[in-house]
Structure 1
Amino acid sequence: MPRTKEFDYQEKLKVARNLFWQKGYQATTMNDLVDTLNINRSSLYESFGNKHALFIDCLTNYIQEKKITYQQSAAKGKSPLDAAIRIIKDIVKTILIDTKTCLAINSTFELARIDAEVAKMLKDQALQSVDLFEKLFTEAKNKGEIPQDKDPKLLAFFVVSNFASLWNADLLFSDKKILYQLTDFLIQTIRS
């Protein structure tokens, strides 16, 4: 008879995700995972697979949460442009509140060049974000909220690429005023 799991899978997944987030993928060892998850090694392998499979599950979970967060932010918008700006401002709020840099951005710089599966996941996530912004900017252009000479797709790539820059600015300079100025400049670039 199979043994029942004595822990909440989703809860342990979040604990593992936080460990990868804190230490990075490469620096996190199986011993770290066993100790932090507080389960024995055989249970870890049985429930989550190897370290890479566990990381993929953690990253998948994080990407899903980001997608939902973006959609929730956009839904608060009174217009397409307002929806896009709300997403940007909510990301900046997260940057200021959270002590950890975005897991997707961390993983991009740590793993995207050396791990094809992670690179594909992150590219797909970024393209979903680009698609969301492109739709919003196309609607905003049709409603006259942004200039007619703006290319919605290029603008969407520009905005999504700038998220890494905003996290970088906060991490390096820890200056709220600079972060707000960069955010305002990004929004002004969209509008003008």
Structure 2
Amino acid sequence: MLIRKLFKFESAHIVRGCSTRRCSHSIHGHSYKVELFLEAHALDNGQMIYDFGLLKSHVRDLIDAFDHAVALWSGDEPDYLSDMRKHSERWVLIPVSPSAEQFSRLFFRLVDAVLTLTDMANGEADVRLHSVIVHETETGYAQCFREDAHNPRMGHIDLNAIEFSSAITKDWHEPNLLELIKRGQRLSPLTKESV
């Protein structure tokens, strides 16, 4: 069985190397929608695959990190990266270009890591991330499956190469969340009451 949770954020980027000059040479923004699909073949104590409320902590923090932030590709021009980090309080540095395709892969890697590292506390069984859809516009989206998230032909997404500005991490439920993920440290589930 699959369940779906939708998140939304506003973000800016440049997608270098794409065929549309407006997108590859000018900072511009989108109203993104991110759909997470979780799957399991058993139900928890509440007869659910996974309580939607549990996604309102670590997972929401990671996706919301991109809201009103500029997404920066670490392979971009050093002067551009320096200027964006200097003039924007909210920025995210990622090891791949911030296209819808790469966003879907990036969110898959991050959310999958959170689910893998989170101790299940209500009888959840075999819950795993099935896919991630990132809508960049009303008419276009990219969908990532597990094999896409780890496909070297699409670029390597090293979680150690991701950096969030301090203006972003200070608002997280767990300000060291990314470091905990990078170290593979177990995460305590946040209850709906603590969110």
The TM tier, using the shorter chain, reads under 0.3
Q: TM-score, normalised by structure 2?
A: 0.26
Kindly name which structure, 1 or 2, has the bigger radius of gyration based on alpha carbons: 1
Specify which structure has the higher proportion of helix. Answer: 1
The structure richer in strand per residue is 2
Which has the higher relative contact order, 1 or 2, with Cα contacts under 8 A spaced 6 or more apart?
2
